[in-house]
Structure 1
């Protein structure tokens, strides 16, 4: 049976879609088969060609039920559901079906206030510092803010996902043929954290040559797209 990971949160603009696709990309690089599920009706489905994961369109309630049931029936797969923002009812629904819940947040006080409410509302969820500053002074200020306001949730905060302009390439309708190494490394990083939380063993390709990684089939290679509505 597959595991389902939901990326949710009441605040918009925290990077939920980016985290969802980076997580699936990282899963593929670590030899895990995954599908990224779109639920936000304001977004358009992306082309699955060239990706290391499948994509599924679940923008209607009926399609979401169909897609989650299909994912559950697949052995050793990972379903990553991008919940969208400002949809409390949908967040509760996804929380009820998820094996793991992620709550991305940025380093603003508004984001932190919102993620505190979400952590209280969803006691099994983990917060993910997203679009985290890379400038040393800004990063220190962000960490100080987290220490000040989120200290009681410290055991439920994952390592930050740094701001990375290349992550936008995963959100293009059709992704480029060659993605940059920093994006691959960041995607592996979030995927490792999630797999560790789910206690799932994986083959870390960091020790493989670039040629070996490039020739490894995509995680969704040969899989049916019947789950897409």
Structure 2
């Protein structure tokens, strides 16, 4: 059975899609690639169709999402990353049923941190927050440290720092940015998998199995 990471949160612009695609890109950039699918659930977002180190599937409608998940969960060697849209009860229901880990991204602002505190309290105890696009410069990071401290240390991952070309991950410049993003994406993917209790080697299909998802 496939394993599932759900990227959730009811605030738009908090970095959910970026986090989902980063995790998938990281898995596809490992020395032993983990077959990964990002399921796009936001009706306002167009699923990517360009060639990537992971697959993207359309789950923007309730029926489409359920059909996607029924198919994907049957695949033995696969990581599914649910790119959860804001305020989508049907996505929340899937998350509650199948996710190995719910991941709640938030950015360095008072509004994002406050919303993350509220959302995290409503999620399973295993859910964790992910500080996204965090300042890399020490002085800037110090100024926003208070937003990190609003969430319990045991329920948040280390901040994912701002890096150049991050915005290209979701656009047409993916191919040009893929190499530069590979190393930080690998680090994030391994951090998330470890928190979910998933050994990436368990998701790597034996060579004779061929491609996990067409």
TM-score of the alignment, normalized to the shorter chain, above 0.5:
yes
Q: Is 1:158 the equivalent of 2:160?
A: no
Whole-angstrom CA distance in 1 between matches of 2:83 and 2:172: 16
CA contact 2:5–2:101 (8 Å) conserved in 1: yes
Task: Provide the residue aligned with 1:63 in structure 2.
Answer: 64
| TM-score, reference length from structure 2 | 0.87
Task: Compute the displacement of 1:134 (Å).
Answer: 1.2
The aligned length equals 202
CA contact 2:28–2:34 (8 Å) conserved in 1: yes
Can you give the 5+ residue segments of structure 2 that lack an aligned partner in the other structure? 202-209
What SS does structure 2 have at the residue aligned with 1:176? helix
Whole-angstrom CA distance in 1 between matches of 2:157 and 2:4: 18
Whole-angstrom CA distance in 1 between matches of 2:79 and 2:2: 6
CA contact 1:83–1:90 (8 Å) conserved in 2: no
Structure 1 residues 27 and 60, CA gap change in structure 2 (3 angstroms): same
Task: Provide the residue aligned with 2:194 in structure 1.
Answer: 196
Task: Compute the displacement of 1:178 (Å).
Answer: 5.9
Task: Compute the displacement of 1:69 (Å).
Answer: 1.1
Can you give the 5+ residue segments of structure 1 that lack an aligned partner in the other structure? 204-220
CA contact 1:40–1:84 (8 Å) conserved in 2: yes
Task: Provide the residue aligned with 2:205 in structure 1.
Answer: none
Task: Provide the residue aligned with 1:209 in structure 2.
Answer: none
Which of 42, 45, 64 pairs up with 1:43?
45
Question: Runs ≥4 in structure 1, deviation > 6 angstroms?
Answer: none
Task: Compute the displacement of 1:138 (Å).
Answer: 1.2
What SS does structure 1 have at the residue aligned with 2:130? strand
